Structure 1
Amino acid sequence: MVKGCMLRMGYSGPLNSANYLKSCFSKPYKFLIHSVLHALTHRKGGYDVMRDYQMNMVTTLVLNKKYNFSKIVFHYMKENITSKSKTWIHPRFVQMILDHAYLDLE
């Protein structure tokens, strides 16, 4: 389903790759992909390359299907906690959790 959607979105790169290039999509979809990569992924740079799970996110948005975005976000937040690098990813989600748990937190 993902590869068929990619073809409908005008993807001109190789379909059997582990990484997909944002530049290979038609112009109307580049902004959607750019927004998903910046807002919902755990990457700190290299926003022209998408992985398969990121393409799944874009496909579900284009086809208006259900997808558990929070599962992906929390999975990579958990992975980041157990890794050696201690950088904050998705700080807005962490702030929302803290605001909900502690109402009077400054």
Structure 2
Amino acid sequence: MVKGCMLRMGYNGPLNKANYLKARFMKPYKFFIHSVIHALSHRKGGYDVMKDYQMCMVTALVLNKKYHFSRVVFHYMKDNITSGSRSWVYPRFV
């Protein structure tokens, strides 16, 4: 379902990779993907590459399907706390 949605959104890159480039989508979807990456990303930088779980989020939003966003957010928050890092990755949720 994710790969079909990517083709509908005009993705013109390899579909079998774990990372997808935001620049390879059609123009109307670039800002949408940019917003999802910035709002729900657990990374501190590198906002032009999208992981496969983020593409699942985008697919759920585009196709209006159910998706447990809080599970993903809390999973990466838990990893951040147990890693020993002193920086907060999700400050907008805390």
User: What residue identity is the alignment partner of 1:60?
Assistant: A
User: What residue identity is the alignment partner of 1:51?
Assistant: K
Higher deviation after alignment, 59-68 or 81-90:
81-90
Q: What corresponds to 2:4 in structure 1? A: 4
Q: What percentage of aligned pairs have identical amino acids?
A: 79
Structure 2 length-normalised TM: 0.97
Q: What corresponds to 1:28 in structure 2? A: 28
Pairs aligned (count): 94
User: Which residues in structure 2 correspond to 1:55-74 (within 5 Å)?
Assistant: 55-74=55-74
Please provide the CA RMSD for this pair: 0.7
Please state how far the C-alpha of 1:84 moved relative to its aligned partner.
Answer: 3.2
Q: Distance in 1 between matches of 2:74 and 2:86?
A: 15
Query: Which has the larger share of helix?
Result: 1
Residues 55-91 of structure 1 show CA distances to partners (whole Å, capped at 9, x for unaligned) of 0000000000011101100100000001132210111
Q: Radius of gyration: which is bigger? A: 1
SS in 2 for 1:50: strand
The one of the two structures with greater contact order (alpha-carbon pairs below 8 A, sep at least 6) is 2
Alignment gaps of 5+ in structure 1: 95-106
User: What residue identity is the alignment partner of 1:5?
Assistant: C
Q: Distance in 2 between matches of 1:66 and 1:41?
A: 19
SS in 2 for 1:20: strand
Misfit runs of 4+, over 2 Å: none
